Chain A
Amino acid sequence: MAKYVVRRLIQAIPVIIGITIAIYAIMLLAPGGPQQRFANNPKITNEQREKFKKAWGLDQPIPVQYCRWIGFCDPDQDGIALLTVKNVPNFLPESLGGGDNGMIHGDLGFSIDSGESVGGRIGKAALPTLLLAGSALILWITLAILLGVFAALKRYSFFDQAATVFSYIGFAMPTFWLGLMLILIFGASLKVLPVSGMVDARLSPPFGSDQYWTYFGKSPGTAIVDIVRHLILPVVTLVVVSVAGDSRFVRASMLEALGQDYVRTARAKGLPNRIVTFRHALRNALLPVVTNIGLEIPFLFSGAVVTESIFSWPGEGRLFINSITNFDYTILMGILLIAAILTVLANLLADILYAVVDPRIKY
């Protein structure tokens, strides 16, 4: 198994590179681009638009652009320029005369929209997304397990069927509709909960800034309450929609576990039902559930896209949507790269867990 894991980790590198090539190609093949911001502005001449594209390297063919992004090509020369002007391979570290651009050198570039460094911008959005998605994840896993277990225990009962119906309604409900309804009801009509952002802009500095942490240090209680109040509606939106899928899975997995021979044996031996259910069946039932949830983690990163937009939550999902609208290629590649890494790692973890759960599986 250890050999397998090491082998997979080594393979992960060409896989991720392959993924970035595919994503880059698809992104640039799609019509449009950051020069769209000049569309329909008769004052900007074609010449000016060409200069803009040249400044960002968008006039080069796709392989050249990718080569520069990954760090093998010198961005200051046209075409595939594997050597810098000093005739040193570009992929070498800067100290040895190579370039300083590209993934190899740890540089993800700058945002076409705002000029910020991509790493910095993505980093700023990470904590809000972790907060939102993390809270939602914990809440919906707990609810999914509770619902799924009780539905399995009381199979075909009214509770089971009602839970089924309600969870499918949640599954089919579009997030954007639910989010907007919650905003209108709790924000505009009842005025009990805030509808946007992470903090109250009148009272607190923006989240994540240095002033914010000073403010947090001075009055942590108010700051935490502020954030929690802003978290409630978006978390509810995410949870309602996601509980369904996972609760069905928990139910199925639990039923499977309860049908196993060893459960019957345990009951026959006289163990109380509660111990049989929770100590034995549940534990085994949860392993595939955990695997499945592990596979959902990458979607947390760029997921919750619509929820973050509607609630003006400054996380990765909102950044992703804004970058798509504005064709901010550099930020998009940064986000998709991180999502790709998470996906590959999550799949590896899932495969390992499969082998742990089912010893018959041999790699």
Chain B
Amino acid sequence: MHKRVLGLLATSLVVFAACNPSAASNAPTTPEVTAPPATPTPEFVAIDQSKYAPTAGTSGGQILMGDWQEANQFNPFYASQVTEANVASAAFAGMVVGTYDYQFLPDLATTIPTTANGGVVVPGASGDAMTVTWTLKPDLKWSDGQPLTCDDFKFTWQWVMDPANSGISTSGYEDISSIDCPSPTSVVQHYKNVYEGYVLISGVLPQHYLKDIPMADQVKGAGWTPEDMPKVPTSGAFKFESVTSGQELRLVRNDNYKGFKSNTPAYLDTLVFKWYGDPTAMIAGFVAGEVDIMTDLLAADIPTLKAQGLESEISAIPSLTYEFLRPNWADGSKMDATTGVGGCSRNPAVADRGTGCPASDPAFRQALTFAVNKDEINSRVLGGLEQVANTNVAPDAYYFSDQPPATFDPEKAKSILDAAGWTVGADGIRAKGGLRAKIELCSTTRQARIDTLKLIVDQLKAVGIEAIANNVSASDIFVEFNDGTKDTACGLSHSNFDVAEHAFGVSVDPIGNYSTYDSKFFEPTGGNDAQISDPDLDAALEKVKGTVDFVEVKHAMATFQKIYIEKVVEIPLYFRKEVEVVGPKLGNFFANPTSAGPTWNAVDWYVKA
């Protein structure tokens, strides 16, 4: 048991060392202990130890950033696209900033509260389950000169929880019972229950600007239209100078903000976002010198970038978005006749297999993991450009625990199926108890997914499973529960699928897994479309949600990842790469795979001479 603790400690050190290559040689080596010590060495997981070290920049200059999707929503809480998150990151700051090495640095706050430094108290002092106390830096101001105080944070919580608000995520905020402001720089959050992701409940909106706009109008964009943006007070490195729909967005330095590392306002005078209509045109524009940095590209664009001579300027890191196969666990016995939830694919093309759902059989799912050749998919469909994944946790996250890599072993798949009673029929396709091994593979119409499904159909045929690929439009597969019916093609929210291929973005914080995998959250209550129901998994997730001891979180997530692989919750295929192209003019660029995006440190960007 002690060796295991030491082993975990060593692993975590290795993980941190791996985050910053230069630190690898400095990683302390743990001495081998032969006899168990009297008390176990306490394990420690830090979330505020970023290695970020920007160079000093020169003041002045303009940087142009190209993106092929236009940002329309500027309220950081309404951002639904990558490009909107990038703009929000540059203009709005919160208590903390998520760094490029999966850590946090205090931004508007002085330190990050944890149980270790007493900022987080469990249970709380006044009868609440948990109290988190943030201390703001002194004399904070919005970009229009108004003071930024605890009142703004309290207002933000009320704003998020306003019943008239819509289209936002309230997780975390809904667990807060009240917020006190003993002083303008002290924010005390009282939680009704222990919430593991409290660090993320740290965004702020300008009270003095929003309080007079009715919420019903705000939900429809009032106060944040392109004409309004120059007046919107921002808390971050830049403020809005102009927003011209269809063309560009211009940010200028916010002199009232000091960078979290440099402690000075931004170096750049202006940061311009230029909107392109087409990714290839954007690449051509970069080559022509129209922009200094390009974002929002895919690994599939790397060959184009190389062909255009941009190889030395590519920044490609594994992102937090992973592509995976999602088997439907439901066996159809508890299917709701009207909505279809609890059933599996009702596509007429697979109706002749008999009653039952092949993917509900754990052995069937196991066989799938050995039958699918991820390397072939990566090399043939993706040009070998993506990173094959074994779990859905980012390799550099603090709670990552490595699992044995899935191997491509069709013989093993066949033997698993044989042992589970799936006998091979005359036409080479298996059947068990009258149910043919015939499944529907669902995905969208993106070319890479069409090709991936084609390969998987072939790979499954080799082990005796007949698969029908069905590529439908995103509005069908991701149809909202109330919009869809039980026959909507590949509708995930109505369980009309056997195995689906799509992508998820994981949050850097493990709490995001909760509503997707917990058995309490079948549709329409939650988003557990694959009908995952495993008591051990539920227990691990409850544990993660209910503790702020990051060591415990790490252990619980290790259990989660183990079950994830053993019971085949999902079959991860690969992690998408986040690709940016950075021209020689831009200094202090650090690619950030978290939702903070590449502009997380825009305050430190500068123009190289």
A touches B (Cβ under 8 A): yes
Q: Name A residues whose Cβ lies closer than 8 Å to a Cβ of B.
A: 31-33, 35-46, 48-52, 54-56, 110-116, 121, 124-125, 128, 180, 183-184, 187-188, 191, 194-198, 200-202, 205-209, 211, 308-315, 318-319, 321-322, 326
Q: Do residues A110 and B220 form an inter-chain contact, with CB atoms below 8 A? A: yes
If A36-B475, A113-B72 touch, whether A44 touches B482 (CB-CB below 8 Å) is no
Q: Find the B residue at minimum CB distance from A199.
A: B247
B421 contacts which chain A residues (CB < 8 A)? none
B226 close to chain A: CB less than 8 A:
yes
Q: Do residues A195 and B167 form an inter-chain contact, with CB atoms below 8 A? A: no
11 A-B pairs, CB-CB below 8 angstroms?
A31-B473, A39-B479, A42-B526, A43-B512, A49-B167, A51-B167, A113-B72, A180-B278, A188-B288, A195-B288, A309-B277
Binds A, one of B141-149, B238-246, B362-370: B238-246
The 6 closest A-B pairs by CB, nearest first: A115-B221, A314-B246, A32-B475, A51-B166, A39-B478, A206-B244
Binds A, one of B129-137, B268-276, B432-440: B268-276
Q: Which of B166, B280, B483, B526 contacts A54 (CB under 8 A)?
A: B166
Q: Do residues B242 and A206 form an inter-chain contact, with CB atoms below 8 A? A: yes
Q: Do residues B242 and A115 form an inter-chain contact, with CB atoms below 8 A? A: no
Q: Which of A33, A38, A51, A309 contacts B80 (CB under 8 A)?
A: A38
Q: Do residues A50 and B281 form an inter-chain contact, with CB atoms below 8 A? A: no
Give the distance in Å from the alpha carbon of A188 to the alpha carbon of B281 in the complex: 9
B479 contacts which chain A residues (CB < 8 A)? 31, 39
Q: Do residues B219 and A55 form an inter-chain contact, with CB atoms below 8 A? A: yes
A115 contacts which chain B residues (CB < 8 A)? 220-222, 224-225
A209 contacts which chain B residues (CB < 8 A)? 242, 244
Q: Do residues B226 and A201 form an inter-chain contact, with CB atoms below 8 A? A: no
Give the distance in Å from the alpha carbon of A110 to the alpha carbon of B483 in the complex: 23
Q: Name B residues whose Cβ lies closer than 8 Å to a Cβ of A.
A: 62, 64, 70, 72-73, 80-81, 165-171, 216, 219-222, 224-227, 242, 244-248, 250, 272, 274-278, 280-285, 287-290, 308, 473-476, 478-483, 488, 502-504, 512, 515-516, 523-527
B80 contacts which chain A residues (CB < 8 A)? 37-38, 41
Q: Which of B166, B274, B285 contacts A55 (CB under 8 A)?
A: B166
Task: Knowing that A33-B475, A43-B171, A55-B220 touch, tell me 14 more A-B residue pairs with CB under 8 angstroms.
Answer: A35-B480, A39-B474, A39-B475, A42-B512, A43-B512, A45-B515, A46-B481, A48-B167, A50-B482, A125-B246, A183-B280, A195-B285, A310-B281, A321-B277
Give the distance in Å from the alpha carbon of A214 to the alpha carbon of B281 in the complex: 29
Q: Do residues B275 and A312 form an inter-chain contact, with CB atoms below 8 A? A: yes
Q: Which of B227, B281, B488 contacts A195 (CB under 8 A)?
A: B281
Q: Do residues B526 and A308 form an inter-chain contact, with CB atoms below 8 A? A: no
**B602 CB → nearest A CB, Å:** 18
Give the distance in Å from the alpha carbon of A305 to the alpha carbon of B64 in the complex: 26
B504 contacts which chain A residues (CB < 8 A)? 40, 42
B72 contacts which chain A residues (CB < 8 A)? 111, 113-114, 326
A211 contacts which chain B residues (CB < 8 A)? 242
Q: Do residues A52 and B167 form an inter-chain contact, with CB atoms below 8 A? A: yes
Give the distance in Å from the alpha carbon of A128 to the alpha carbon of B525 in the complex: 47
If A116-B226, A206-B242, A312-B277 touch, whether A48 touches B168 (CB-CB below 8 Å) is yes
Q: Do residues B512 and A196 form an inter-chain contact, with CB atoms below 8 A? A: no
Q: Do residues A191 and B288 form an inter-chain contact, with CB atoms below 8 A? A: yes
Give the distance in Å from the alpha carbon of A318 to the alpha carbon of B281 in the complex: 14
Give the distance in Å from the alpha carbon of A51 to the alpha carbon of B168 in the complex: 10
If A50-B482, A202-B62 touch, whether A114 touches B167 (CB-CB below 8 Å) is no
A321 contacts which chain B residues (CB < 8 A)? 277
**A191 CB → nearest B CB, Å:** 5
Q: Which of B170, B245, B288, B290 contacts A201 (CB under 8 A)?
A: B290
B272 contacts which chain A residues (CB < 8 A)? 201
B73 contacts which chain A residues (CB < 8 A)? 113-114
B483 contacts which chain A residues (CB < 8 A)? 31, 33, 35
**A119 CB → nearest B CB, Å:** 13
Give the distance in Å from the alpha carbon of A88 to the alpha carbon of B8 in the complex: 73
If A55-B219, A116-B226, A116-B245 touch, whether A44 touches B274 (CB-CB below 8 Å) is no
B283 contacts which chain A residues (CB < 8 A)? 188
Give the distance in Å from the alpha carbon of A36 to the alpha carbon of B481 in the complex: 12
Give the distance in Å from the alpha carbon of A160 to the alpha carbon of B34 in the complex: 96
Give the distance in Å from the alpha carbon of A313 to the alpha carbon of B245 in the complex: 11
Give the distance in Å from the alpha carbon of A45 to the alpha carbon of B64 in the complex: 36
B171 contacts which chain A residues (CB < 8 A)? 43
Q: Find the B residue at minimum CB distance from A314.
A: B246
Q: Do residues A196 and B167 form an inter-chain contact, with CB atoms below 8 A? A: no
B167 contacts which chain A residues (CB < 8 A)? 38, 44, 48-49, 51-52, 55
Give the distance in Å from the alpha carbon of A151 to the alpha carbon of B247 in the complex: 42
If A36-B475, A49-B167 touch, whether A206 touches B221 (CB-CB below 8 Å) is no
Q: Which of B222, B282, B478, B524 contacts A40 (CB under 8 A)?
A: B478
**B340 CB → nearest A CB, Å:** 15
B476 contacts which chain A residues (CB < 8 A)? 31
Q: Which of A39, A310, A312 contacts B480 (CB under 8 A)?
A: A39
Q: Do residues B220 and A56 form an inter-chain contact, with CB atoms below 8 A? A: yes
**B360 CB → nearest A CB, Å:** 22
Name, among A35, A44, A311, A313, the residue most crowded by chain B CB atoms within 10 Å (CB to CB). Answer: A44
A313 contacts which chain B residues (CB < 8 A)? 277
A125 contacts which chain B residues (CB < 8 A)? 245-246
A52 contacts which chain B residues (CB < 8 A)? 166-167, 219
Give the distance in Å from the alpha carbon of A151 to the alpha carbon of B284 in the complex: 38
Give the distance in Å from the alpha carbon of A44 to the alpha carbon of B168 in the complex: 6
Q: Do residues B247 and A314 form an inter-chain contact, with CB atoms below 8 A? A: yes
B225 contacts which chain A residues (CB < 8 A)? 114-116
Q: Find the A residue at minimum CB distance from B492.
A: A40
A196 contacts which chain B residues (CB < 8 A)? 274, 276-277, 281-282, 285, 290
Give the distance in Å from the alpha carbon of A205 to the alpha carbon of B272 in the complex: 11
If A32-B473, A314-B245 touch, whether A309 touches B278 (CB-CB below 8 Å) is yes
Give the distance in Å from the alpha carbon of A43 to the alpha carbon of B107 in the complex: 25
**A76 CB → nearest B CB, Å:** 9
B81 contacts which chain A residues (CB < 8 A)? 37
**B477 CB → nearest A CB, Å:** 9
Q: Do residues A46 and B480 form an inter-chain contact, with CB atoms below 8 A? A: yes
A116 contacts which chain B residues (CB < 8 A)? 221, 225-227, 245
**A150 CB → nearest B CB, Å:** 36
**A336 CB → nearest B CB, Å:** 18
**A198 CB → nearest B CB, Å:** 7
Q: Do residues B246 and A310 form an inter-chain contact, with CB atoms below 8 A? A: no
A207 contacts which chain B residues (CB < 8 A)? 244, 247
If A35-B480, A36-B475, A195-B281 touch, whether A48 touches B288 (CB-CB below 8 Å) is no
Give the distance in Å from the alpha carbon of A320 to the alpha carbon of B137 in the complex: 46
Q: Find the B residue at minimum CB distance from A326.
A: B72
B274 contacts which chain A residues (CB < 8 A)? 196-197, 201
Q: Find the A residue at minimum CB distance from B64.
A: A201
Q: Find the A residue at minimum CB distance from B475.
A: A32
Give the distance in Å from the alpha carbon of A314 to the alpha carbon of B276 in the complex: 10
B482 contacts which chain A residues (CB < 8 A)? 46, 49-50
If A55-B216, A191-B288 touch, whether A198 touches B247 (CB-CB below 8 Å) is yes
**A40 CB → nearest B CB, Å:** 5
